Amino acid sequence: MIARLGSLWSDRSAAVAPIVAMLGASLVCTAAIALDVGAFYSGSKRLKAATEAAALYAAGNPANALSRAQDYLQRNGYPSSVIQSIQAGRYCPDKDLAPTGRFFASAAASPCPGNGQANAVRLKTSQPSSQYVLALLGNASPIADLKATATAAKIDEAGVQVSSGVLGLSNGVVNQLLTLLTGRNIALTGAQITTLMGSDIDMGLFMDRLAVRAGRSGTYAELLSSPIAFSDVLGAAGDAAADAGSTSVSTLLLNLSAQVGSGYKVKLTGLADLGVWEKMPVGNARAQTSLRAGINAFQLLNYALLAGGQPPSLSLTPAVRLAGMATDVLSNPRFGYGPANETSAYTAVTRLLLDVDVSLNVLGLGPVLSLLGLQTLAKVPVLIEIGSGSATITNIRCTSEADQDSVVTINSQASLLKAYIGVAHNNPLALPFKPLSSADFDEATILGGVLSLKAAAEDPIAAAQPITFSRQNGTIGRPASATKPGIAGAPVTVASGSQLGPLLTTLGSKIQVRLLRSDLGLVLNPVLAVVGPTVGNVLTIIVDPLVTNLLATLGIQLGTATVWVTGVRCGVPVLV
C-alpha cells in the first residue's frame, strides 16, 4: 500500500484535470463570447456591403431613394426596418472639404455651383447583432447594434462649346501673332492649321498633363488661373494627343512647343466653365468615371495666343471717344463641362465702351439750358457688344446603351449686337466676358447731374432655341482615346436674323430720360421730350457706321452662333 502511494507522487497522467475542473466554466464562456464577437464583426461586414449596394441603387434615381433602398435590402434578406435614415442631396467634389463632408442634404448649403437637383444619396442602417450567450445579459450585453453608413452619387455630364459668327483665321494671321508674341519666327502651313482645326484634345487629360509640365498642384480652377508658359500649354496638348494615340497631332503640337520658347506666359482663366471639375484636385481626369469631352486644338492655340495680347486699334470720329475696348475674337469658341442646368458657355467677339458727345443745343432745349447756365454738350456712355453666342446644357438623357443612344439638349442663342446706355455695375470689359442685360446698368447722369439717361437694345429673340444632339445621328463628339477612335460631332448653327441699323435705331427710341433736379422741373419738364430723340439721332448717324465698319473688319456673320457637344458621360453611381 505504501509503495502504491509512493508511485502516485511521480504520476503526471492526470495533472491537468484539476485545472480543467476549476476553469472549465470560464473556458466555455470565453468561447461563447468569442462566437458572439465574431458574429458582430461578420454581421457588420455584411450590413456594410448591403448598405453600400443599396445606396448605389438608390442613387440611380434620388427622387425615389427610399423605395429603391428598401427594395434592394428586402431582396437581399434585410427587413426595411434596418433603414435608420436616407437623404437625397448634393455631392460637392471640393478638395478643401473632408471626404465625409462633401455630401449636403440641402443644395443651398453646398459650396459647389449647381442646379438644385439631387445627385447623391446618403443611407444609414442599423440592426441588432446576432448573440448567443451574451443575449442572456439582456440590455447589459456589451455587444452594440450593427451600424453602417454609405454615400453614393450619380452625375451625368456633357461638354459643350459655342462660337459666335466670326470668320476663320488664315495661317498668315496666326503666324504673325505667334511671331509677335513669342519673339520666334514661326511658320505654320495651311495643312497644319487644317490638322489642328480638325482635332479635339481630351480636356481632362490636357489639364492633367498641363499640371505636370507646369509643376502645379491644387484644383483645376487654380491651374487655369496660374501664369503658365505658352510652350507648356502646347506641350501639354501634345502629350494629351499622344495619350489618345493621335500621333500626327501630337507631333505637330510638340514641335511647335519646342519652337515658341518659354518666355511668353499666359493664363487660361475663362477658357472653360469647368463645372464639377472646378474644385477637384488635378490628376483626377484619368479616372474611368471621368467625363471624356474634347477641346478643339486650334481654338486652344488661339485662346492661349491672345490670353495676354492686346485688342486691335480702332479709328474713331472726334465726337466718339473710345473709353475702353476688349476683344475675344480669337478665343472662340468657349467651352463648358458638367451636368445639365448648371453648365453653359458664353462668348462675344468684341465689346466697345464709348463716350459719345451729343449736342443738346437744339430747338427748344438749347436756349433753356443756356438760360440755366448749363452746358449744352452731353457725354453719353454707350456699351456695345458685338457677335455674342450662348449655349446651356438643359438635359442629358442616358440609356442602357449610353455610348450609342445618349441624347443632349442645348439651349442656344445668337446675337448680332447688344447696346446699352448707362453705367455698368462691374467692369464690362473684364475677360472672360459674362452675359449682360439691362439690369447690370445704372442710369448715366449728364449735364452735371441734372438729367439721367438709360436704355437697352438687344436682339429680339423671345427665348433660346433648343437643339437636340444624339450619339445615334453622330452629332455628339468624342475625343480619341487609346481604346476608342475620336468622333467629330456635327455642329448646329442658330441665327438671330437681326440687322445692325434697326437695333441702334431701337436703342435711341428706348432712351429713358429723368430729371434729377426737382427745383428745375418747371423749366425743363416741357422740353425733356427732345433729349431722347436727339441722342438717338446721334447714335444712328455716328455710331452706326462705326460699328458697321468694325463688323466688316472682323468678318462677323450677322448674328450666328455655332454649337458643338464635344462629349457625354452617363454617370454610373459611385460611392463617395
Domain end among 111, 137, 155: 155
Domain end among 155, 185, 209: 155
Q: Look at residue 24 and tell me if it is in a domain.
A: no
pLDDT of residue 247: 86
pLDDT of residue 427: 87
Domain co-membership, 138 together with 209: no
* pTM (predicted TM-score): 0.64
356 three-state secondary structure = strand
Q: Look at residue 13 and tell me if it is in a domain.
A: no
Q: Look at residue 336 and tell me if it is in a domain.
A: yes
pLDDT of residue 167: 44
Domain co-membership, 145 together with 162: no
Domain co-membership, 384 together with 403: yes
Which positions ≥6 away from 116 have C-beta within 8 Å? Answer: 107, 108
pLDDT of residue 314: 44
pLDDT of residue 311: 42
Domain co-membership, 405 together with 498: yes
Q: Distance between terminal CA atoms of the chain?
A: 81
Domain co-membership, 141 together with 66: yes
From residue 205, give the alpha-carbon distance in Å to each of 32, 109, 342, 357.
56, 31, 22, 52
Q: Is the Cα dihedral 413, 221, 115, 488 positive or negative?
A: positive
Grid cell in block for residue 349: 467677339
Domain co-membership, 94 together with 180: no
d(CA 513, CA 454): 7
pLDDT of residue 524: 82
Q: How many domains is the chain partitioned into structurally? A: 2
Q: Look at residue 542 and tell me if it is in a domain.
A: yes
Domain co-membership, 210 together with 99: no
d(CA 128, CA 320): 81
Domain co-membership, 164 together with 150: no
Q: Look at residue 23 and tell me if it is in a domain.
A: no
Domain co-membership, 254 together with 286: yes
Domain end among 140, 155, 170: 155
Q: Look at residue 387 and tell me if it is in a domain.
A: yes
Domain co-membership, 257 together with 351: yes
Q: Look at residue 8 and tell me if it is in a domain.
A: no
pLDDT of residue 124: 93
Domain co-membership, 176 together with 114: no
Mean pLDDT per 10-residue section of the chain, whose length is 576 residues: 57 59 60 65 83 88 89 89 90 77 81 74 86 60 79 81 59 62 69 78 88 89 87 91 87 88 78 75 70 73 64 50 56 68 79 83 80 84 84 78 74 83 88 84 89 83 70 74 70 66 71 87 81 83 70 56 77 72
Q: Look at residue 553 and tell me if it is in a domain.
A: yes
Domain co-membership, 206 together with 217: yes
360: domain range? 158-569
